[in-house]
Amino acid sequence: MVALLCTGEFELVGGKGLLVRPQPILYNVTKAVADGLKVGGVVSPAADQIPQSKKRWQQVGGTEQVMVAASPYGDVAELEKAADALKRQQVQLVVLDCMGYTLAMQEKVRQITGAPVILARGGILPGVLKELIGGVKGSRLMDYKYGEDCRASFAAEFSLKGRGGTTADNRR
């Protein structure tokens, strides 16, 4: 099993094992809870990604989407400014569309906007991974705590050693 640690869209590649893609998981969870909302907000990590995000998120729940950009790796003031823009647009739900956003950032956006905030790395992706490998002996996923830097590879944490080989073996 391999888990991509990016909410971007990727072409599927062949392989025998499971490929866990956060983007469709995040999208479908958001779509399930956003049905009937009037305005949703999406925070992308860079302004040049907004057109792609707008295309991706326009079908969610029939809501109007407000797109803003704020890097999860930059100054927190950039995220606060983006959250303020979402608040002024009276969004009813916010999606942080990058694995780099942290739990602290999720809480900051929630405080500023007053809206629920969906974060892929907060509980959605770990919940899916826990569901898939939670019963694997020796798995440390249940005890794993995300650090502030999501750019590191977590592949070793989710390997299936002793149950069909290593993570890389399961993708061949």
Of the candidates 128, 82, 126, 125, the residue with the CA atom closest to the CA atom of residue 105:
82
Is 113:94 a contact under the CB 8 Å cutoff? Answer: yes
- Spell out the per-residue pLDDT of the chain, length 172, in tens: 777 777 777 676 667 778 788 888 888 888 888 888 878 899 999 999 999 888 888 877 666 889 999 999 999 999 999 999 999 999 999 999 998 999 999 999 999 999 999 998 888 888 888 888 875 554 444 343 444 333 333 333 333 333 333 333 333 2
Residue 163 domain-assigned (yes or no): no
Residue 106 domain-assigned (yes or no): yes
For residue 43, report the phi and psi dihedrals to the nearest 5 degrees: -105, 120
CATH number at residue 108: 3.40.50.1860
Is 148 strand, coil or helix? Answer: coil
Of the candidates 92, 123, 89, the residue with the CA atom closest to the CA atom of residue 110:
92
Residue 7 domain-assigned (yes or no): no
Between the alpha carbon of residue 152 and those of residues 17, 30, 51, 54, 104, the distances in Å are 22, 26, 27, 28, 18
Residue 156 domain-assigned (yes or no): no
Residue 14 domain-assigned (yes or no): no
Q: Which pLDDT does position 99 carry in this prediction?
A: 87
Residue 140 domain-assigned (yes or no): no
The number of domains in the chain is 1
Supply the range of the domain harboring residue 76: 22-120
